[in-house]
Amino acid sequence: MIKPLAGALCAAMFTTSALAQAPLRPDQQAFRELYREMVETDTSITTGSCTALADKIEVRLKAGGFAAEAITRFAVPDHPKEGGLVVVLPGTSKTLKPILLLGHLDVVVAKREDWTRDPYTLIEENGYFYGRGTADMKAMDAIWTDMLIRFKQTGYKPKRTLKLALTCGEETTWAFNGAKWLAENRRDLIDAEFALNEGGSGRSDGKGKVLSLGLHVGEKAVANFRIEATNPGGHSSTPIRDNAIYELADALVKLRDYDFPLMLNDTTRAFFAKLGPARQDAIGKAMTAIVSAPAGSAEAAAAETVLNTDRLYHSMLRTTCVATLLEGGHANNALPQRAAVNVNCRIFPGVPAATVKAALEKVIADPKLTVTAVDARTIAQPPALTPQILGPAEKLVAKYYPGVPLVPLMSTGGTDGVYLEAVGIPSYGPPALYGDPDGNGVHGLNERVSANAVYKGRDLLTDLVRAYAGQP
């Protein structure tokens, strides 16, 4: 689930010229065909099947030299279309722990009638790949799969064992989540020193210049709460003030006007500290002040006020909760007996969902309304930003994108990395693809990604995995 970081990353005034895409090498042509097959296999929860795509990937892995015993398929009986696979490329070291490459195969539902192009056809136009999942996250899925096949075919033997887990269920809270299932049921199969996952990203100016690349280190957790008002109801011809819809509306106004307290962690401190000096405006000064001013001081409060004017920075600084679905009433000539709203929360790392539920109840301050946790992911525990992870990434960003800064990111959304971190496997999002200020239609209409970003990201990630895995 790649999240918008346009405001933050476009703020850095570093640029590099986008290179025109040269004719494809044979290995790039093979990669593009794999990428096409992935995008053109519908893996949405409503009309698609992750299992069908996993079948195709297994065929490619075996054709690339992987034996059947190196591939593990998994699914559960009540979700047969939401299966995935794990493939292992053994390393030479008996002491170094493996690296896990993680990707989700499922995509957000796309309706053909709403799109300009067929969402399940890979279309290349004006330097972009269009199609559902082109950015989130089948480009990285294809990069991981293609990488292991090339390593196998060329006889590359890393020191660390490399594992690839392709799962389903990341985009839908009520689906079978393969990453969660593996963490809870087959930890042995995916055990690793760390994982590389989605979330690391970059941003361009929308005109081909890359402004910044990000290393994803930590994320918010996702939770949904149902706020509900009930009432005996009655005939609409004799209305009263005691109305479930009005009571819910009053609660939503309070929620709209409430800000959760400011919070910072190592990742967000590094983010603001690095980007602040690059700007010569009020936002840049506020970035610097938010990490340097004493907590609770007037200077810190003033910096927070400025940063809150940007929706991304506002979200990075706290837990957020927002109404996303609304229902109420049962007839157009009756007083409502029930009104309810779904509130989607993105919880700052380390904060329990129960704490957020209690805060919602306090904000609403109406005992006639109930607040119920619908679902909540595992509490997000940010991994450490170590030199082992940061060093190779910085070197390769400097190689592929000279002059472009690598910035630590805390995602305001959520990924399957939270399930790995819950069982002790740190998860990072390496710098790879980059997007435009408009978000590239991710989770929306006409999703697209720069072709240059895909091919260049493929090369960068290949070098990065080699650096992390080591060679004999």
Convert the pLDDT of each residue in 402-411 to its tens digit: 999 899 988 8
pLDDT, position 21:
58
Please write the tens of the pLDDT for every residue from 257-311. 999 999 999 899 988 998 888 778 999 999 999 999 999 999 999 999 999 999 8
pLDDT band per the 50, 70, 90 thresholds, residue 399: very high
3-state SS track over the chain: CCCCCHHHHCCCCCCCCCCCCCCCCHHHHHHHHHHHHHHCCCCECCCCCHHHHHHHHHHHHHHCCCCHHHEEEEEECCEEEEEEEEEEECCCCCCCCCEEEEEECCECCCCHHHCCCCCCCCEEECCEEECCCCCCCHHHHHHHHHHHHHHHHHCCCCCCCEEEEEECCCCCCCCCCHHHHHHHHCHHHHCCCEEECCCCCEEECCCCCEEEEEEEEEECEEEEEEEEEECCCEECCCCCCCCHHHHHHHHHHHHHCCCCCCCCCHHHHHHHHHHHHHCCCHHHHHHHHHHHCCCCCHHHHHHHHHHCCCHHHHHHCCCEEEEEEEEECCCCCEECCEEEEEEEEEECCCCCHHHHHHHHHHHHCCCCEEEEEEEECCCCCCCCCCHHHHHHHHHHHHHHCCCCCEEEEEECCCCCHHHHHHCCCCEEECCCCCECCCHHHCCCCCCEEEHHHHHHHHHHHHHHHHHHHCCC
- Report which of residues 150 and 410 the model is more confident about: 150
What's the pLDDT at 36? 98
Q: Is the pLDDT assigned to residue 15 strictly greater than 80?
A: no
Q: Is the pLDDT assigned to residue 11 strictly greater than 80?
A: no
pTM: 0.85
Q: Which domains does the chain have, with CATH numbers?
A: 6-219+380-469 (3.40.630.10), 221-261+318-378 (3.30.70.360), 262-310 (no CATH)
Amino acid 1: pLDDT: 57
Q: Picking from 88-97, 129-138, 368-377, which range would have the lowest pLDDT averaged per residue?
A: 368-377
Of the pLDDT bands very low, low, confident and very high (cuts 50, 70, 90), residue 13 is very low
